[in-house]
């Protein structure tokens, strides 16, 4: 088992990473001072796989456990679903001291986190992430949110969990596509912050994809450590935390302009390649580095070339997005693997050029 500390003053917390941790949830809760009532929020597939067993275990550990289930899918990250959950929490007489356990992928983490942040002005949140994406990324750092109209993830809060338990054994029931989605974010962490970690992923891709326990633990703890370091320096996303958006400016535009026909991990991979291509054309990011990046992305089961996209439509989308959130279209570009910089001075013609040239 590994431990990563997220250092945020009074809001600091630990992330524990290891195989079989879910079975020890009761012990960890007791160590964190929780003894009585608690509510698990999960989605249908995760309830079937892990939720029912977790509820039974916690009940035999002496907790008074309720489990609230929502259907799976991004559509559940809505004010309507949050509203339904508030109603159920009221029916259960959940109090300000009643912790909410978010058991599932990023959708559940964001939704249950949003509910925990707002119900009774905030109840304790415990993250129990079960997808690779949630373990390497979304359960860490305290961004909780729902979607609203065109605003994806924009109705939300910064609300840190009290504890994160990442049970790597749960990853074994994910599809290869879901593993690739998580790997996209892990590769991102290597490029923005830690060359050695990138090399670890590069040389251990086969072990990771075949669910080798030690390799999964290394990837999840490596990413958790990197995200924790970045978040500790800029909890509320005013500066450094922006680097976590590497690959997401173009990636988000690709997702949206294809009506989410291109999945998130794939879109981020395309965005990372495009940003690396832009930096390469600017004479900053070395061609050898670009080749390495492409190799890892391909090895992770993600698109290793930029597919034919309507560059003009993408640029239009980014301009529009910029108007909604304010400011300028900002790019995170790699200087080398392990170091990035932020710029808002990339010309539309260069973006178009890189997208047209396949990276």
Ligand X SMILES: NC(=O)c1ccc[n+]([C@@H]2O[C@H](COP(=O)([O-])OP(=O)(O)OC[C@H]3O[C@@H](n4cnc5c(N)ncnc54)[C@H](O)[C@@H]3O)[C@@H](O)[C@H]2O)c1
Residue selected from 26, 51, 99, 105 as contacting ligand X according to rule CB under 6 A: 105
Binding positions for ligand X, 48-87, rule CB under 6 A:
49, 72, 74, 77
Which of 272, 271, 253, 358 is closest to 316 using CA atoms? Answer: 253
Residue selected from 29, 134, 267, 290 as contacting ligand X according to rule CB under 6 A: 134
CA distance 159 to 136: 18
CA distance 231 to 244: 9
Q: Give the nearest distance from C-beta 250 to ligand X in angstroms.
A: 16
Q: Give the nearest distance from C-beta 255 to ligand X in angstroms.
A: 10
CB of 252 or CB of 294, closer to ligand X: 252
Q: Give the nearest distance from C-beta 41 to ligand X in angstroms.
A: 12
Tokens of residue 272, six digits: 């990372």
Q: Are 235 and 242 in contact (CB under 8 A)?
A: no
Q: Are 100 and 126 in contact (CB under 8 A)?
A: yes
CB of 170 or CB of 280, closer to ligand X: 170
153 binds ligand X (CB under 6 A): yes
Binding positions for ligand X, 210-239, rule CB under 6 A:
none
Q: Are 25 and 240 in contact (CB under 8 A)?
A: no
CB of 109 or CB of 334, closer to ligand X: 109
Residue selected from 19, 25, 81, 138 as contacting ligand X according to rule CB under 6 A: 138
Q: Are 5 and 228 in contact (CB under 8 A)?
A: yes
Q: Are 223 and 141 in contact (CB under 8 A)?
A: no
Q: Give the nearest distance from C-beta 287 to ligand X in angstroms.
A: 30
Residue 315 to residues 251, 318, 329, 352: CA-CA distances in angstroms?
A: 12, 5, 9, 8
CB of 138 or CB of 279, closer to ligand X: 138
Q: Are 255 and 262 in contact (CB under 8 A)?
A: yes
Pick the stretch among 4-12, 79-87, 101-109, 218-226 that binds ligand X (CB under 6 A): 101-109
276 binds ligand X (CB under 6 A): no
CA distance 18 to 109: 19
Pick the stretch among 26-34, 51-59, 167-175, 245-253 that binds ligand X (CB under 6 A): 167-175
255 binds ligand X (CB under 6 A): no
106 binds ligand X (CB under 6 A): yes
The half-sphere exposure of 340 on its side-chain side, counting CA atoms within 13 A, is 27
Q: Are 159 and 330 in contact (CB under 8 A)?
A: no
- Segments of 20-149 assigned E as strands: 37-43, 64-70, 100-104, 125-129, 143-148
CB of 98 or CB of 245, closer to ligand X: 245
The half-sphere exposure of 345 on its side-chain side, counting CA atoms within 13 A, is 3
Tokens of residue 210, six digits: 């075949």
Q: How many residues bind ligand X (CB under 6 A)?
A: 27
Binding positions for ligand X, 169-198, rule CB under 6 A:
170, 173-174, 178, 181
CB of 120 or CB of 169, closer to ligand X: 169
Q: Give the nearest distance from C-beta 139 to ligand X in angstroms.
A: 8
Q: Give the nearest distance from C-beta 47 to ligand X in angstroms.
A: 9
Residue selected from 6, 17, 43, 243 as contacting ligand X according to rule CB under 6 A: 43
- Segments of the chain assigned E as strands: 2-6, 13-18, 37-43, 64-70, 100-104, 125-129, 143-148, 151-158, 163-167, 331-336, 339-343
CB of 43 or CB of 194, closer to ligand X: 43
107 binds ligand X (CB under 6 A): yes
User: Closest residue (Cβ) to ligand X?
Assistant: 106
Binding site for ligand X (CB under 6 A): 43, 45-46, 49, 72, 74, 77, 104-108, 110, 130-131, 133-134, 137-138, 141, 143, 153, 170, 173-174, 178, 181
């Amino acid at each position: 088992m590994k431990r990563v500390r997220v250092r945020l003053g009074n809001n600091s917390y630990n992330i524990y990473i290891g195989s079989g941790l879910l079975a020890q949830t009761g012990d960890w809760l007791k160590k964190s001072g929780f003894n009585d009532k608690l509510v698990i929020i999960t989605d249908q597939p995760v309830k079937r796989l892990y939720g029912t067993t977790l509820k039974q275990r916690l009940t035999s550990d002496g907790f008074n456990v309720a489990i609230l289930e929502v259907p799976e899918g991004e559509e559940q990250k809505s004010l309507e679903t949050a509203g339904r959950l508030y109603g159920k929490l009221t029916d259960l007489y959940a109090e300000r001291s009643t912790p909410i356990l978010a058991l599932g992928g990023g959708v559940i983490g964001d939704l249950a986190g949003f509910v925990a942040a707002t119900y009774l002005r905030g109840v304790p949140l415990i993250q129990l992430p079960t997808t690779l994406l949630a373990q390497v990324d979304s359960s860490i750092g305290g961004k909780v949110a729902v979607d609203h109209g065109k605003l994806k993830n924009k109705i939300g809060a910064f609300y840190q969990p009290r504890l994160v338990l990442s049970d790597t054994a749960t990853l074994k029931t994910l599809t290869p596509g879901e593993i690739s989605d998580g790997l996209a974010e892990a590769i991102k962490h290597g490029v923005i912050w830690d060359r050695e970690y990138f090399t670890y992923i590069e040389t251990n891709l086969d072990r990771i994809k075949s669910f080798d326990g030690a390799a999964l633990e290394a990837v999840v703890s490596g990413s958790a450590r990197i995200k924790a370091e970045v978040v500790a320096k800029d909890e509320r996303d005013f500066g450094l935390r922006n680097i976590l958006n590497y690959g997401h400016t173009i990636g988000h535009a690709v997702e949206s302009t294809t009506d989410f026909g291109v999945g998130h991990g794939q879109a981020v991979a395309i965005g990372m390649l495009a940003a690396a291509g832009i930096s390469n054309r600017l004479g900053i990011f070395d061609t050898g580095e670009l080749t390495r990046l492409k190799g890892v992305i391909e090895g992770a089961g993600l698109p290793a070339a930029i597919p034919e996209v309507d560059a003009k439509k993408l640029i239009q989308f980014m301009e529009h997005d910029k108007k909604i959130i304010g400011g300028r279209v900002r790019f995170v570009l790699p200087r080398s693997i392990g170091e990035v910089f932020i710029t808002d001075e990339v010309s539309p013609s260069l973006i178009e050029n890189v997208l047209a040239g396949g990276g």
